[in-house]
Every structure is written in structure tokens, then in C-alpha cells.
Amino acid sequence: MRSARNTSAPKSPRGFTLIELLVVIAIIAILIGLLLPAVQKVREAAARMKCQNNLKQIGLALHNYENVNGYFPPGYTDGNTSTTSTPDNDVGPGWGWAAYVLPYLEQGNVYNQINLNQPVGTGVNAQVSQLQLSVFLCPSDPYQQSYSIYDSSFSSPIATVASSNYVGCNGWEECFNGASGNPQAGAGADGGSGVYGSGGAGVFYRNSHTRIASVTDGMSNTIFVGERSSNHAPSTWTGAVPGGRCPAWMATQPATAPNTPPSQAPTGSNGSAYDNADYGEALVLAHCNATHLPSADFPIFDPDTFYSYHTGKGANFLFGDGSVRFLTSGINPTTYQALATVGGGEVLGDF
């Protein structure tokens, strides 16, 4: 006997209702919202670590240079050899400390393209001056393209140079006053008070040849190199462009967008970013003192200070012993100023 055929059709699986779908989408959105800050935090931690590794490589290169030559490279080279002259009298060629350590950073091919007797950014050095080198770039900085340098008239560019995020420490006095390594401190000078004369100088300045024996404050107590982010002021690994100026993007509020041409720069209560520009020495050097703590001020009218894009209000610094430390804007001002000098003889606090 034939069994009865099952004529009933299989049931279709039940689909999602609109409400269920919206709930799932909402849950996914919440999870992404919770995950995104963690991803950003991990990304910034990786960027800070890469930045610190860059500075450690630079530190090794500086010591290798010193081991070969008997002194650290000059802050920048210039035909202006006066110990009392300010950078508005510089004549070039201007090549800075970072250019001189290229062979010790596995960048010998770049170094060999440079004519050190000719100015930065022009003539035979025009092309090599625009090469972007990752060892001089902090991953947290989004503005890392080559940029134009203007002269004192701010009418037209005189050179184009590669970007960098690392500048040498000039000392506690503003670079314009201390470019020769002999800070012209006085009433109203930037910093207000501190060590006077050569004891107030840093490792790097115009035509400097600082020896290890000169760092009497101790290598672990002396800042060699620190960060400068491009939203604060431009920097370059190449050198101090002769006749060039270094604008202060954060001199206006809101801050001027990096690399804005002079004709388009907005004006604030203290003038434009170009009205507050320093000379070429500020492209490769910076100072730190009690009145200019790392990543602390806005607006800030001095381009030749230390700043960074890192979270935590501070910046990475390379010390003479090769260590790299993140100094925050909460550092003791007196200690921060003392760390800038090679032979001030100051008593340091914790940092």
C-alpha cells in the first residue's frame, strides 16, 4: 500500500523585522563608537614610539659624528662669524646640524648630492633641499610636504625646502639673541632671568663646534634636540636659508594654516604669522626657557620654540646621553630652562 504523499511545503525561514535590523545597526554603531577611541589611542602610541625612535637614531648619529670629528655638528654654518652679530646679518650657506649627520643616518647618497659651499634651497642644491626624509618626520604631524621660504619683504619665495619635525636646542635665550652662542641677555630679554653669557648657550648655534667636555652640566641633563610641529612653525633638516624668514603660525587666533602665503595670511591682534617671523636660524634651532614651556602657549608669537602634535601637552626631547624623554607643559619652568644649557651649573629639579 502506497503511503500518503506529504504535500505540505517547507516553511521559509523568518526574516528580520525592521525594528530588529535597526537594533542591530544601533549596536554595531555603539561598538564602533567604543572601539574608535581605542584605535586612535593605539595609533597615537605607535606614532609617539616611532617619533622617539627617530630621535634615538638622531642621537646615535650625533655621537658618531662627534666620535669622528671631535665635536658635535654646527647648529648651522654661516660666513657671519661675529660673536655678537644677530641672524639678520647671516650670509649663508646655512647648512644645519641635521644635514651634517646624514652619512650617519644611512643617508650618504643624499649627503653626497649637497654642495655645502652653496646656499640651502637654491642653485645646485635646489633639488636635494626638497627631499623628504622619514627619519626627520614625526608620524603624528599631518603637514609633511616641502614648503616655500620667503625673504624679509614677504613678496616672493626665495627657496623651497623639505619639512622636518626636529630642531636643535640653542639654549635658554631666544635664537635671534643667542645665535652666536653668546646670549645677549638683558632687561626685557626673552626668558626674563637666567644664566648670562656663554654658560647660557645650548649645544647648537651658528658655527658651533660643541665638544662633550663642554657639556659640564652633564649629558643626561642637557637637551640636544626636540620636536616642533608644523602647526606651530616650519622646520627643515636642511638648514638656515640665507635671508629667509620663519613664520609663527600660532601667532593668530585661530591659528594660521601651515604654509599659508603672506598675501593670504590673516592678521591678529599682534599682526600676522609673518609679522612675528624670525630669521633663518629658527628653521633649524629652538630655545626653551621658563616662559615658553613645551606645547604650552596659544597664541604664541615666537616660532623658535618646541611644540608637538602628541596628546598629553608636551613634546619628545633627545638628551645628550642618547635618552629620549617626553616633557610635558607641567614641567618645572626653572628646570626646563636649565635643561637647555650646556654649562649653566644649575641645580635641577625632577623632570
Lowest mean pLDDT among 186-200, 225-239, 335-349: 186-200
> d(Cα 89, Cα 337) in Å, to the nearest integer?
27
State pLDDT tens for residues 334-345.
999 999 999 888
Instruction: With a cut of 90, say whether residue 177 has pLDDT above it.
Output: no
Q: Provide the grid cell at 154.
A: 614677504
| Cα of 339 vs its chain's centroid, Å | 17
**Could you tell me what percentage of the chain is helix, strand and coil, using 3-state DSSP and rounding each to the nearest 5?**
30, 15, 55
pLDDT of 108 over the 90 cut:
yes
Task: Convert the pLDDT of each residue in 285-316 to its tens digit.
Answer: 999 989 999 999 899 999 999 999 999 899 99
Quote the pLDDT of residue 8.
53
pLDDT of 146 strictly over 90: yes
Residue 208 confidence class, pLDDT cut points 50, 70, 90? very high
pLDDT of residue 199 exceeding 70, the answer is: no
DSSP 110: H
Spatial contact of 324 and 310, defined as CB atoms under 8 Å apart: no
Contact 223, 215 (CB under 8 A): no
pLDDT at res. 188 = 47
> Is 90 exceeded by the pLDDT of residue 28?
no
Find out whether 222 and 254 touch, Cβ atoms under 8 Å. Answer: no
By percentage, how much of the chain surpasses pLDDT 90?
72
- Which grid coordinates belong to 237? 633638516
Res. 16 pLDDT band, cuts 50 70 90: low
Per the model's pLDDT, the better-predicted residue between 351 and 70 turns out to be 70
Give the amino acid at 228: R
Predicted pLDDT of residue 21:
73
Provide Rg for the chain, Cα atoms: 26
The pLDDT of residue 185 is above 90: no
What's the confidence (pLDDT) of residue 24?
Answer: 77
Band (pLDDT 50/70/90 cuts) for residue 346 is confident
pTM: 0.87
Q: What is the mean predicted confidence (pLDDT) over 118-142?
A: 96
pLDDT of residue 205: 96
In the predicted structure, residue 161 carries a pLDDT above the cut 70: yes
* Strand segments (E) across 257-331: 278-279, 285-287, 314-319, 324-328
Coil, strand or helix at 319? strand
Q: Is the dihedral of CA 183, 154, 305, 136 positive or negative?
A: negative
**What per-residue confidence (pLDDT) applies to 187?**
38
- For residue 21, count CB atoms less than 10 angstroms from its CB and return exposed for 0-12, middle for 13-18, buried for 19 or more: exposed
Q: What is the mean pLDDT of residues 41-51?
A: 80
Per-residue pLDDT for 115 more than 90?
Answer: yes
DSSP symbol at 187: T
Cis peptide before 266 (omega within 30 of 0): no
pLDDT recorded at residue 37: 63
Q: Give the whole-angstrom CA distance, residue 188 versus residue 147.
A: 33
Q: Does residue 174 or residue 13 have the better pLDDT?
A: 174
Query: All 3 cell numbers of residue 74?
Result: 654646527
Give me the chain's average pLDDT, please.
89
Residue 243 has pLDDT above 60, yes or no: yes
Task: Give the CA distances from residue 146 to residues 51, 131, 159, 264, 319, in Å, rounded to whole numbers and listed in that order.
Answer: 19, 8, 10, 18, 28
Domain ranges of the chain: 40-339
Q: Residues 6 or more apart from 32 whose CB is under 8 A from it? A: none
